[in-house]
Chain A
């Protein structure tokens, strides 16, 4: 069971656009909310209103600064969750068979009733996508909202992961990355989607889209800018007197 499937029929995953993510953390909240009240044990918090709050999350947003050679520094918000790798090292290290990859759609899941909480899968994941829940002692990870995408009782538009459904910037996309004709595959093709840590050999399904190059202003910055120039370089009258007097002190 902890061996990886040779081939998955589909490769469901996310495409995350680093250009449009605004770093609002709405996906973090939506993920925590959905996954705390549905599939599996809740995502617990420890000391949530105290001095040292801590908790389990399946999706976290880092923020980085990059400074291009010929422009000002840019801030890039970087959402990170399970990448549902094709060669998922977290699956093969599992001693109990709790950690597995579905042959039908490639989603990596944890069977929580078989998990002994040894933490080895979290060590084997290079991305920090798995967190051991401190209350339940079992491993938690992104399920790609299997209980939404497979749920026929939900309206069609809600059968996507909670993070994708909630993103106000349209920075998160969900689909089948094994289908070259899917919208999500076209997006990866068009924008040059890339893998995180390719040298780790995990072959992640999720792809990231790079920030687009920013506009550069070599010409006039703004037609209104000249009107904002300081009008009086040398102060006269009372202010001029004050300036001269204060300078002499």
Chain B
């Protein structure tokens, strides 16, 4: 699939923002006053920047509000509702903390649940697609949620939690990289099932140049680079930040750990799109990975 910068920015930034909102919501002694305001501003800036980036992916962004109508059937619509609900509930919780020094734990927990629900709905937009076997798996929402809570833990300065989560996220991402390579073959869709012909070979494409389908869905990344990028994603996303957090804590080290994790997360999300094989590309003679 085409790794659109708007979608990478959307999923990474909103994941971080909602991840931070989750930790602020469940905090027994959350920051209040000016410190609280700073934390909530960062969380809202990230979440809103992510959601804003997602509208750049639309062909008709001026009609984006119509996306709220089909929550009964569409995960994209549910994601829009979850985002609005999470941002609204957490705004009340934040206003209490920042302006009135008032902590309402129940409201915080509700906001945290809605924040995670939003990340879950985002991940289901991809996980629901049977046409992309690499995404159509329970590990997709698990990994999206792990990245969100890990990034949130780093943003909110929770060293112990971040260390555990970096290890778990790194291990899960590594496993998904390897397992993902086998999912297209496992799905059983081949050029033969696509055409009903015995052992076909793509002889001539329908058109001589690229089109929407080949640009959007037949994107393929050179395997050589994919493996290097996977190692970079794991090293920057999990290994380096974990090592930095093991050193005696200093805020500058924490910041470097956060930036490294985000860089690794962006690399992993780029691969999430770039490596995903759409079954439609079989019609164009794209070979399967085994």
**Residues on A facing B (Cβ under 8 Å):** 1-3, 18, 28, 52-57, 60-68, 75-76, 78, 80, 89, 92-98, 114-120, 122-128, 131-134, 136-139, 194-201, 208, 210-211
User: Interface centre among A61, A64, A125, A211, by most B CB within 10 Å?
Assistant: A64
A contact residues around B207 at 8 Å (CB): 57, 60
A contact residues around B80 at 8 Å (CB): 95
Judged by DSSP, the binding face of A is: loop
Known interface pairs A67-B199, A125-B131. Does A53 touch B209 (Cβ–Cβ under 8 Å)? Answer: yes
Known interface pairs A117-B58, A126-B279, A138-B60. Does A201 touch B67 (Cβ–Cβ under 8 Å)? Answer: no
> Beta-carbon contacts of B183-207 to A below 8 Å, as 1s and 0s?
0000111010111111111111111
B70 interface residue per 8 A CB criterion: yes
Contact of A198 among B193, B199, B211 (CB under 8 A): B193
B contact residues around A134 at 8 Å (CB): 212
Contact of B213 among A1, A52, A53, A128 (CB under 8 A): A128
Contact of A200 among B57, B73, B130, B209 (CB under 8 A): B130
> Beta-carbon contacts of B87-125 to A below 8 Å, as 1s and 0s?
000000000000000000000000000000000000001
**Which residues of B, 1-18, contact A by the 8 Å Cβ criterion?**
1
What is the CA–CA distance of A99 and B274 in the complex, to the nearest angstrom? 27
Asked if B60 contacts A120 (CB within 8 A), the reply is: no
Closest to A211 in B: B197
13 contacts between A and B (CB under 8 A): A60-B206, A62-B205, A62-B206, A63-B206, A80-B206, A95-B80, A96-B67, A97-B70, A128-B213, A131-B212, A196-B193, A196-B196, A199-B187
Contact of B283 among A80, A92, A97, A137 (CB under 8 A): A80
Which 7 pairs across A and B sit closest by C-beta, in order of nearness?
Answer: A117-B59, A137-B59, A60-B206, A128-B280, A95-B76, A96-B66, A63-B204
Known interface pairs A2-B74, A123-B129. Does A199 touch B189 (Cβ–Cβ under 8 Å)? Answer: yes
**Residues on B facing A (Cβ under 8 Å):** 1, 57-61, 63-64, 66-70, 72-77, 80, 125, 128-132, 187-189, 191, 193-207, 209-213, 216-217, 278-280, 283-284
Asked if B217 contacts A128 (CB within 8 A), the reply is: yes
Known interface pairs A53-B209, A119-B216. Does A199 touch B77 (Cβ–Cβ under 8 Å)? Answer: no
What is the CA–CA distance of A138 and B66 in the complex, to the nearest angstrom? 14
In angstroms, how far is the closest chain B Cβ from the Cβ of A205? 15
In angstroms, how far is the closest chain A Cβ from the Cβ of B204? 4
Asked if A136 contacts B280 (CB within 8 A), the reply is: no
